[in-house]
């Protein structure tokens, strides 16, 4: 009897750990395969060993071959995602603070409308904008990617920021205003510095969403010099002339993903807080 209960308690103890192990493997194994494939020699591309036998950075070199234009595309991605994030934060901060703090009619309706806009299928927005941008000669410009990106970035940012602002006690501004601040000063001098972590988290989430965007980028741009990394990667022709240069595509995938992953790993607590605040609350 006592042996059995000891056994069950051992199960109880280890089962969740096994489960956790499975989840980690589930999440990381495909990514690990990408990393391994990136560091194989191009000739060993179809080798299925678990570690790259002769470790090679040949693929990484291939990625930056001038034919691929990958370096340039990274810069383009940075410009597009960075500008989108900055614009989103400027506009979104004001709206989120208003929605979190001011009392006015139709507040929930407003919030509802703003969130709803993020649910519309991208293609329904892209097609008319594509036609418009052809007319006003915006095709192959950065703004042709940045402006439509606001359609999903702005609602996302407003939602997360609103939750962050709501978590901050109202007494903060009230105290500042009692001390003689105007509402605007109270926002700038008291709230904004305290909300900095939330703003920063929102910036990361927005940046990742914008960095990962594909549909807009592939629709609006057909000139190589201005394409983003996501578009360029899937068009790689490679230097060795095979059908699909998976080695260099995996290497490029690692390069595109690693900066995001570093940010995610450093700020994982905050990102989870931001995501669940937006998604659950």
Residues in 90-149 that interact with other proteins by CB under 8 A? 91-92, 94-95, 97-99, 102-105, 107-108, 110-117, 119-132, 147-148
Range in contact with other proteins (rule: CB under 8 A) among 1-9, 60-68, 188-196, 230-238: 230-238
Among 1, 2, 4, 30, binds other proteins (CB under 8 A): 30
Query: Is the four-CA dihedral 145, 126, 281, 172 of positive or negative sign?
Result: positive
Q: How many CA atoms lie within 13 A of 42 on its CB side?
A: 16
Among 43, 55, 182, 214, binds other proteins (CB under 8 A): 214
Size of interface with other proteins, in residues (CB under 8 A): 96
Among 26, 51, 135, 241, binds other proteins (CB under 8 A): 26
Closer by beta carbon to other proteins, 65 or else 150: 150
Between CA 256 and CA 246 the distance in angstroms is 15
Q: How far is the CB of 179 from other proteins (least distance, A)?
A: 16
The answer to whether 78 contacts other proteins (rule: CB under 8 A) is no
The most distant pair of C-alpha atoms in the chain lies apart, rounded to whole Å, by 81
Residue 139: which residues within 8 A CB-CB, separation 6 or more?
130, 133, 220, 221, 222
Q: Give whole-number Cα distances, 208 to 119, 132, 270, in Å.
A: 18, 27, 14
The answer to whether 175 contacts other proteins (rule: CB under 8 A) is no
Of residues 244-263, those binding other proteins (CB under 8 A): 244, 246, 249-250, 253, 256-257, 260-261
Of residues 1-20, those binding other proteins (CB under 8 A): 15-17, 19-20
Nearest to 131 by CA among 215, 218, 217, 220: 220
The answer to whether 233 contacts other proteins (rule: CB under 8 A) is yes
CB atoms within 10 A of CB 14: 11
Of residues 38-77, those binding other proteins (CB under 8 A): 46, 48
**Cβ atoms of 76 and 229 closer than 8 Å:** yes
């Amino acid at each position: 009897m006592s042996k059995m209960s000891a056994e069950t308690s051992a199960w109880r103890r280890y089962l969740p750990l096994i489960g956790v192990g499975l989840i980690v493997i589930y999440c990381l194994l495909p990514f690990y395969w990408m990393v391994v494939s990136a560091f194989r020699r191009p000739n060993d591309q179809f080798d299925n060993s678990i570690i790259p036998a002769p470790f090679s950075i040949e693929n990484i070199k291939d990625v930056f071959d001038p034919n691929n234009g990958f370096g340039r595309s990274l810069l383009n991605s940075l410009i597009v995602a960075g500008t989108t994030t900055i614009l989103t934060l400027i506009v979104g901060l004001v709206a989120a603070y208003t929605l979190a703090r001011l009392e006015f009619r139709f507040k929930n309706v407003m919030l509802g409308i703003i969130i709803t806009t993020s649910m519309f299928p991208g293609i329904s927005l892209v097609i008319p904008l594509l036609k418009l941008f052809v007319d006003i000669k915006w095709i192959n410009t950065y703004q042709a990617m940045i402006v439509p990106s606001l359609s999903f970035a702005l609602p996302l940012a407003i939602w997360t920021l609103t939750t962050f602002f709501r978590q901050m006690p109202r007494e903060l501004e009230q105290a500042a205003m009692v001390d003689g601040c105007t509402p605007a000063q109270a926002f700038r001098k008291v709230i904004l510095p305290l909300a900095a972590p939330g703003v920063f988290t929102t910036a990361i989430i927005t940046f990742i969403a914008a960095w990962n965007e594909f549909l807009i980028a592939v629709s609006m741009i057909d000139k190589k010099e201005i394409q983003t990394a996501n578009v360029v990667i899937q068009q790689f022709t490679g230097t060795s002339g095979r059908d699909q240069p998976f080695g260099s595509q995996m290497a490029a995938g690692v390069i595109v993903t690693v900066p995001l992953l570093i940010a995610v790993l450093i700020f994982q607590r905050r990102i989870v807080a931001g995501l669940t605040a937006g998604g659950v609350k």
